[in-house]
Structure 1
Amino acid sequence: MFRFAAILSAAIAVTNPLSAQTCPEAADHVAEVDALVAQIQKAETEQEARAISNQMWELWTDAPGEQAQALLDRGMRRREAWDLLGALETFNTLVEFCPAYAEGYNQRAFVNFLRQNFSAALVDLDAAIALSPNHVAALSGRALTLLGLGRTEEAREALTEALVLNPWLPERHLLAPGGLLAPPGEDI
């Protein structure tokens, strides 16, 4: 029996080389993201805020190790090409390989959001936020996902929380009078 289990484990490792490896620890970018959040809160123009947001994305998409980075990049390319099933498969592999890497969950959530599988997206967004509480993109994605689920009040609260961190989010217009998340009594 032991011999069979060893052969089976070896066969799985050959067909899935990541299963035999451990994901490296992700770089700790908390202080850098916090500093960028402080900068974006003081930004005076949308262009300035966009440049700071791009710096945040560079940190969030800094995967732990070459293999995780290759998976992240492949999944994002597949998503951009609208190969959503291929992207989902790649992000599933990334999350399985690196379960402590927030961006794997965030990217898988985005794919599920595009597929309108809002329930699955919400689970992944909650995981990403638990791992990276100042992940502004995951917070705003959570608001949009809750809106997709018809949970308007929760969506409004989630977007408000995201806007505290980044007041320049494009989704801010949803809270403006006439917006889908405008507080009751503030419609046009």
Structure 2
Amino acid sequence: MRRILAFLLSVFLIAAALPAAAADDRAAQLDALFAQLKTAAPEEEPALQIAIWHLWFRYEGADTEIPGLLERGNTAMAKDDYAVAEAAFSAVIERDPAYAEGWNRRATVRYLRGDIRGSIADIDQVLAREPRHFGALSGLGLCRIKLRDYAGAIEAYQRALAIDPQMAAARDQIEQLKKLQAGDPI
């Protein structure tokens, strides 16, 4: 989990340094990247995922306080200060509930704090705003595993694979969960 958090933090910091795209341009870029992701070779998938994460992380709304709140939340999360991180991401959501990544960041913190049901509620909000959010779907899979809802976890990972067919972590989780359901040791 630490590697994932470090990766997401580095993508966020890179995204913050890049110029913002216009909303229409951003939507077109995401559509193009998701189309490429469907047919990408395994070696192309990481770069496409990073490009998608960049666009998701980029805050393009009018609220000038949100980038600072996001930075505060990400820094706190990297330091395992989950209470501060959750408060920062909750403030992002309050200020701009349409920003899907605010919900996704808080879902991650809630998972790390053991608030699985709260994490799932936030993931539902992410997916309502960005149904192709493979990161949120992977998180949903982890939540379902914690709840011992293995069929629900498999479904979440299958949905992620429908978006990103090269997602090895989702494929591996499905394989392990099917073994677990069959009573095989994993």
TM-score (norm 1): 0.77
Indicate whether 1:27 and 2:23 are aligned.
yes
TM-score (norm 2): 0.78
| Runs (4+) off by over 4 Å | 181-188
- Within the candidate set 44, 48, 51, 1:48 is matched to 44
**Among the aligned pairs, what percent are the same residue?**
34
Higher percent of residues as helix: 2
- Within the candidate set 87, 90, 93, 1:89 is matched to 87
Matching residue of 1:98: 96
Q: Unaligned stretches of 5+ in structure 2?
A: 1-21
Indicate whether 1:121 and 2:124 are aligned.
no
Give deviations 1:11-59, integer Å, cap 9, x for gaps.
Answer: xxxxxxxxxxxxxxx93533322221221222212x4211110001111
The letter of the residue matching 2:172 is: H
Q: Does structure 2 retain, via aligned residues, the 8 Å contact 1:34–1:134?
A: no
**Offset of residue 186 of structure 1:** 9.2
Q: 1:186 to 1:163 in 2, by over 3 A?
A: farther
Counterparts of 2:179 and 2:160 in 1: how far apart (Å)? 15
Matching residue of 1:60: 56
Counterparts of 1:106 and 1:78 in 2: how far apart (Å)? 15
Q: Does structure 2 retain, via aligned residues, the 8 Å contact 1:174–1:182?
A: no
Counterparts of 2:145 and 2:94 in 1: how far apart (Å)? 28
The letter of the residue matching 2:44 is: E
Counterparts of 2:113 and 2:178 in 1: how far apart (Å)? 22
Q: Unaligned stretches of 5+ in structure 1?
A: 1-25
Question: How many pairs were matched up?
Answer: 160
Q: CA RMSD in A?
A: 2.1
